[in-house]
């Protein structure tokens, strides 16, 4: 059975299913109860499951994560909502110093099945602290799993798979795509949580990205095709660990790769992907791996976000440079 849903409703359906199938799952976050969260992802869940399982928390991100750590130790599976990406930093110490390390500290005897949902990225014209791409902080932290769906079907299944994980998962939701609709298979997941996926086949250049950037890559690939260039597009899906198999297979066929991200380029996830691909597929490359990213500056005011964020034209310019080698 399939249903056409926007990503926000697919996440809602995935959370609902997790709450129904496991009574140790609970949700915590600011305004997630009667309001249903800023983006209405948890709408209706407190009404149906009660305030002891869908918990409106105080405005204290560090307290939310600290409480979740204790709940996980007690056998629960907390799913936390951070209201906006820039608000996660008050909880950064709890996440990186405690949540990520407790299982290792106890030699595997204490598991931390905590999911931290973070709406992230730009394209919504928001103010400071409401448009960030903080993925590199978390992918750099050993002990955390980091994933990001780009479509409704992945959102529905990946949130459930993240909740089932015995390890802490940072679940990055591309807020600009919350209203993007897609077909959701309500019966069978397409892929495991940490698998990357080819979303468009091509022969000349491999384009790689995650989250909202996948839509932009597909737009760029369609424009490139009209100019006679065939681009393969890969949705990374899992940022840590990275499933390099499809990336390397693709690069060995095309000989070229462009990685695109909203985050700044310096010491970013794109840096790591580029370095690894050049190490493992060096002799197949016809050109260096190129990166298209946000600029190495704080996220700008709304009127300038179109200049800051990579668009199809900037990606096509990188494709042209790659082909020119």
DSSP category for residue 300: P
Question: Are 137 and 207 within one domain?
Answer: no
- Among 185, 216, 236, the domain boundary falls at 185
Question: Are 238 and 130 within one domain?
Answer: no
In a domain, 191, yes or no: no
CATH of the domain at 49: 3.40.50.970
Structural domain containing residue 114: 2-185
Active site residue 130: yes
In a domain, 190, yes or no: no
Question: Is residue 67 within 8 Å of residue 79, measured between CB atoms?
Answer: no
- pLDDT score at 235: 98
Q: HSE on the CB side for 144, CA within 13 Å?
A: 24
Please name which of 158, 189, 186, 191 lies closest in space to residue 172, comparing C-alpha atoms.
Answer: 158
Question: Are 160 and 241 within one domain?
Answer: no
- pLDDT score at 154: 97
In a domain, 113, yes or no: yes
Question: Are 215 and 287 within one domain?
Answer: yes
pLDDT one digit per residue (tens) for the chain, 325 residues: 899 999 999 999 999 999 999 999 999 999 999 999 999 999 999 999 999 999 999 999 999 999 999 999 999 999 999 998 889 999 999 999 999 999 999 999 999 999 999 999 988 777 777 888 999 999 999 999 999 999 999 999 999 999 999 999 999 999 999 999 999 999 998 899 999 999 999 999 999 999 999 999 999 999 999 999 999 999 999 999 999 999 999 999 999 999 999 999 999 999 999 999 999 999 999 999 999 999 999 988 888 888 999 999 999 999 999 999 9
- pLDDT score at 113: 98
- pLDDT score at 124: 76
Question: Are 132 and 281 within one domain?
Answer: no
In a domain, 280, yes or no: yes
DSSP category for residue 167: S
- pLDDT score at 42: 97
User: How many residues are present in the chain?
Assistant: 325
Please name which of 108, 115, 258, 230 lies closest in space to residue 173, comparing C-alpha atoms.
Answer: 115
The C-alpha angle 237, 120, 294, rounded to 5 degrees, equals 85
Please name which of 246, 169, 259, 250 lies closest in space to residue 210, comparing C-alpha atoms.
Answer: 259
CATH of the domain at 306: 3.40.50.920
- Among 154, 185, 216, the domain boundary falls at 185
- pLDDT score at 171: 98
Question: Are 151 and 13 within one domain?
Answer: yes
Question: Are 25 and 57 within one domain?
Answer: yes
- pLDDT score at 302: 85
Q: Out of 123, 130, 194, 210, which one is annotated catalytic?
A: 130
Question: Are 20 and 128 within one domain?
Answer: yes
């Amino acid at each position: 059975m399939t249903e056409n849903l926007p990503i926000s409703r697919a996440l809602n359906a995935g959370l609902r299913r997790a709450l129904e199938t496991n009574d140790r799952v609970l949700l915590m976050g600011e305004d997630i109860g009667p309001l249903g969260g800023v983006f209405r992802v948890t709408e209706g869940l407190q009404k149906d499951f009660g305030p002891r399982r869908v918990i409106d928390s105080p405005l204290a991100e560090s307290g939310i994560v600290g409480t979740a750590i204790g709940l996980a130790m007690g056998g629960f599976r907390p799913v936390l909502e951070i209201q906006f990406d820039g608000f996660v930093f008050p909880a950064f110490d709890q996440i990186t110093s405690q949540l990520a390390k407790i299982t290792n500290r106890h030699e595997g005897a204490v598991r931390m099945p905590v999911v931290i949902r973070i709406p992230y990225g730009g394209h919504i014209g928001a103010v400071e602290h409401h448009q960030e791409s903080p993925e590199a902080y978390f992918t750099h932290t050993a002990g955390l799993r980091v994933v990001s769906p780009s479509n409704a079907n992945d959102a529905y299944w990946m949130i459930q798979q993240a909740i089932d994980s015995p390890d802490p998962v940072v679940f990055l939701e591309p807020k600009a795509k919350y209203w993007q609709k897609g077909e959701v298979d309500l019966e069978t997941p397409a892929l495991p949580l940490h698998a990357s996926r080819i979303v468009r086949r091509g022969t000349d250049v491999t384009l790689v990205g995650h989250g909202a950037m996948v839509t932009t890559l597909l737009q760029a690939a369609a424009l490139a095709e009209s100019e006679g260039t065939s681009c393969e597009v890969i949705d990374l899906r899992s940022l840590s660990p990275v499933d390099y198999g499809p990336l390397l297979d693709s690069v060995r066929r095309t000989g070229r790769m462009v990685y695109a991200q909203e985050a700044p380029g310096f010491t970013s996830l794109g840096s790591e992907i580029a370095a690894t691909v050049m190490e493992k597929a060096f002799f197949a490359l016809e050109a260096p791996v190129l990166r298209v990213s946000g600029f190495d500056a704080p996220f700008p005011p709304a009127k300038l976000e179109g200049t800051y964020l990579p668009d199809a034209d900037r990606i096509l310019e990188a494709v042209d440079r790659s082909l020119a080698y």
